[in-house]
Structure 1
Amino acid sequence: MADIPYRFILAVAAIIVVGAARIDGGWWLRGLFYRMVDPEAKDMRAAPFGLLVLAILLTIAMSVLAFSAWFFNGAEIQDVGAFLDGTLTPIFTFITVIGLLLTIVIQQFELRLTRDEFARSANALETQIQSTDRQNFESTFFQMLNLHNSIVNAMDLRNKEGGQTSTGRDCFKTFFVYFERMYHNNMEPNDGDKISSAYKEFMDSYKQDIGHYFRYLYNVVRFVDESPVVDKQRYMRLLRAQLSDYELLLMFYSCQTPIGKRFGQYVVRYALLDNVPRDKLLVIFHENLLPAAAALDKDDFTSEGT
């Protein structure tokens, strides 16, 4: 084998490989290695395949070179064997390493698939939990809304003077007439004090008839406010649609008093008084109190619906 310039051929091949490795400003082999060990790389299976092909080509090239020297140049078979042993052993070792890396890559790929599946399962579970929470909330909300309507429908108010009986939502018109009378009979010089004093007198007289209504309505609104649902305004609009003009009027005047202070924060936040009939206010200038209690003027709220 002394006459065969295989060391020269190997040197030239090495120079070619090293030169070809520098492509587009980056090391090709390094790029292959990075893609091979990166479980997020979409083409990571191509990296060990490329290295495997390179090892096979080198093995074929060395074998052809050795047998060409034996067949054409008359080299001793022992020299050919020694040459193949010295050159192919590192190549086969390299192929073994490639196989190990390929195993690691496959494991990483499977791990990525498992992780993605876990992520999809977690997202699906979260979506299911959110859907279940919404269903539970809506079930409770509409049950509370039905109970609120039952409370209204069960109202029965007898007018002692005329002997007439008001039932259901008609009672609120009668309540407002009583409150209006108390307001105009009140002698407080300040209008804010006059509203508070008249409303306190009204509640002292009819608390047993209307107190549970406002307490339950307050708890319905509070339930929606404290719920985890995102579109709370949607449910508040449904609630607001259940309220009659005289219910809104009494709620409006309640919010002007210390009695309705806690309820007032929700009334402002969700514009529950947006549809209060301004023409039925006790005096016309009370309309100036409305934006503070309703949070939004009627024209400003049309984009959200009524």
Structure 2
Amino acid sequence: MEKLIKRICITAAIAALIAIGTFIYHFGLGFASNIGNWGAVGDFFGGVLNPTFALLSLILIAYTLMQNKKALEQSEKAIEQGTKAIEQNEKALQVSNKELELTRNELANSSKALEEQASLLAVQSFETTFFNMLELHNKLLSNIFYVRRDFSEKIIKELKIDFIDDGSANAKNLNSVDSLNRLLYAMNSAHSRTGFKVSITSIFDIFYRYENKVFGSYCRNLYQILKLIKLGIKGFSEQKKYSNILRSQLSNQELTLLMLNCTSPQVDEGQFRELIIYFELLEHLDFINITPTDQSPSFFRVNNPTINIDSEIINAYIKLNDDGKLLKSAFGQNAIFFQYCEGKGYI
């Protein structure tokens, strides 16, 4: 473009010089004598140079238009290329977004898989501990052995009675269940020999002081199993599955011992009893409700072995709402218990 402008300017200068030179050659130098001669001079130069300058201007304009056209074409190509680049970038972004989404999904799936794996490992770890403690529970139960001991004389002296019968004369075996039978039989014997004037809870407290080493570790292990279930498993329905496994192994003698054990203030501050209520562990206890008479108030009689239980002990395993209605109990759906609740107006 710059070269063309220079050439046009040079051409215009040469044309002007030729016109001036020609004029001087034919007419010489000097000023015209009248206005008409001045007009003729102007017409000469205008007629000679104007077409030349007009042609050069036309050439320059045409060239400029051609250059503008090329520039526009190049701009259109650049815009088209830019548009294609933007479309490609959009496609690349879409692909990138899909890849990110897939990556997110994979991470989410991986995270979920890790959570499931961690949950499975936690359940496996819990079950390993749970069944090991169940095995220990059975070992502790098998190690329970009770016969009338020398310190039974201390119990007799403390209660001011003449004798405690542990039923050993009728015992056929010396296994753990038979030992529990003798222990509960001895408690009931002591209870009856006081004329039922001393509560069974007080009787148990005395036996607890002297005979705790017979059954203490067994009860403490059972408490730890229930605590493990409640803290180690989420959701009551899942917890109940494991507590039911434990409950299915408990004999009537064990349930009776647990009921007495967990009402004793010497054991704890009620934490064990709360767990028994929470898991409804006494639902299958074999007992009946003895209606009150003029001579005696209402009480419960546990079967196998026979032992009389005060209503206060049963009430210790009941939770009522603010309206005095049954909210939850350790006896679950036990029919005898529901008859008692109906009589008390709890349901």
* Partner residue, 2:176: 168
**What is the 5 A alignment of 1:177-192?**
177-186=185-194
Q: 1:175 to 1:284 in 2, by over 3 A?
A: closer
- For the Cα contact (< 8 Å) 1:166–1:174, is it kept in 2? no
Shift of the alpha carbon at 1:250? 1.5
* Partner residue, 2:41: none
Give me the whole-angstrom Cα distance separating, in 2, the residues matched to 1:246 and 1:235. Answer: 21
The counterpart of 1:217, out of the listed 207, 219, 222, is: 222
More deviation, 156-165/261-270: 156-165
- For the Cα contact (< 8 Å) 2:200–2:309, is it kept in 1? no
Shift of the alpha carbon at 1:195? 2.5
Counterpart of 2:205 in structure 1: which amino acid?
Answer: K
Shift of the alpha carbon at 1:187? 6.4
Counterpart of 1:248 in structure 2: which amino acid?
Answer: L
**RMSD between aligned alpha carbons?**
3.0
* Partner residue, 2:258: 251
Counterpart of 1:222 in structure 2: which amino acid?
Answer: K
Give me the whole-angstrom Cα distance separating, in 2, the residues matched to 1:157 and 1:195. Answer: 19
Give me the whole-angstrom Cα distance separating, in 2, the residues matched to 1:256 and 1:99. Answer: 79
Q: What is the total number of aligned residue pairs between the two structures? A: 223
Tell me the secondary structure at the aligned position of residue 174 of structure 2: strand
* Partner residue, 1:277: 286
Give me the whole-angstrom Cα distance separating, in 1, the residues matched to 2:207 and 2:71. Answer: 114
Deviations 1:89-131 (A, max 9, x none): 3222111122222222222221111111111000000000100
**What is the 5 A alignment of 1:200-239?**
200-230=205-235, 231-239=238-246
Counterpart of 2:137 in structure 1: which amino acid?
Answer: H
* Partner residue, 1:68: none
Tell me the TM-score normalized by structure 2: 0.57
Give me the whole-angstrom Cα distance separating, in 2, the residues matched to 1:288 and 1:266. Answer: 15
Indicate yes or no: 2:289 matched with 1:289: no
Q: Over alpha carbons, which structure has the higher Rg?
A: 2
Tell me the secondary structure at the aligned position of residue 146 of structure 2: strand
* Partner residue, 2:144: 155
Give me the whole-angstrom Cα distance separating, in 2, the residues matched to 1:205 and 1:296. Answer: 33
Give me the whole-angstrom Cα distance separating, in 1, the residues matched to 2:205 and 2:333. Answer: 27
Give me the whole-angstrom Cα distance separating, in 2, the residues matched to 1:112 and 1:299. Answer: 58
Deviations 1:15-68 (A, max 9, x none): xxxxxxxxxxxxxxxxxxxxxxxxxxxxxxxxxxxxxxxxxxxxxxxxxxxxxx
Q: What percent of counterpart residues are identical?
A: 23
The counterpart of 1:241, out of the listed 237, 248, 252, is: 248
* Partner residue, 1:110: 99
Tell me the secondary structure at the aligned position of residue 199 of structure 2: helix
* Partner residue, 2:74: 85
Q: 1:134 to 1:229 in 2, by over 3 A?
A: farther
Q: 1:300 to 1:146 in 2, by over 3 A?
A: same
Tell me the TM-score normalized by structure 1: 0.64
More deviation, 101-110/126-135: 101-110
Shift of the alpha carbon at 1:80? 7.6
Where in structure 2 are there 5+ consecutive unaligned residues? 1-64, 150-164, 289-300, 319-328, 338-347
- For the Cα contact (< 8 Å) 1:178–1:202, is it kept in 2? no
- For the Cα contact (< 8 Å) 1:199–1:254, is it kept in 2? yes
Deviations 1:275-305 (A, max 9, x none): 111145234764953862515332599xxxx
Indicate yes or no: 2:101 matched with 1:94: no
* Partner residue, 1:267: 276
Deviations 1:228-263 (A, max 9, x none): 343111111111111111111111222333235331
Q: 1:300 to 1:176 in 2, by over 3 A?
A: closer
Give me the whole-angstrom Cα distance separating, in 1, the residues matched to 2:73 and 2:251. Answer: 99
